[in-house]
Amino acid sequence: MKKKKSKKFTEGMVDVSGKKVTRRVALAQARVKLGRRQFQILLRKGSPKGNVFETARIAGIMAAKKTHDIIPLCHPLAIQKVSLEIFPDPNRSEVMISAQVICQGRTGVEMEALTAASVAALTVYDMMKWTGQTMEISARLLHKSGGKSGTYHFIP
């Protein structure tokens, strides 16, 4: 029986030291789809835990700043701006969350924007789970600019 050679692992964090520092911007969106009854409770009563939208906004901002601690091989970045906007949509019984992240850096901020929007959505879920667990979360990148790969815009 032949002995297997152990694979040498050379992969790791990407070396961005040779990249130019440019303005990096990313915009991500997350949605929390609630049942109609759950959505009405959110609008009328909120959560026994407190202000759902403000708590979700702060959670998203904090998450963007900690993305490198959550996502393996993500670079720690000196983020200059994180902003979240949260909109309840009564026609769809959902909460829409937009997260924008900006920095001057050598690598993009897409993961920070996606993390911010996703954690804000998870916070809405956590604060409203007392009404039931039938909520659904989705997230996507809407825009990114800066860097060698150029600009990306999501077109529905």
**Terminal CA-CA length for the chain:** 55
**Per this entry, what is the length of the chain?**
156
Under DSSP, is residue 41 helix (H, G, I), strand (E, B) or coil? helix
CA angle 117, 122, 127 (to 5 degrees): 125
Beta strands in the chain (DSSP E): 22-33, 79-89, 94-105, 136-145, 152-153
Residue type, 34: L
Contact 89, 108 (CB under 8 A): no
Q: Is 69 a known active-site residue?
A: no
What residues are labeled active site? 126
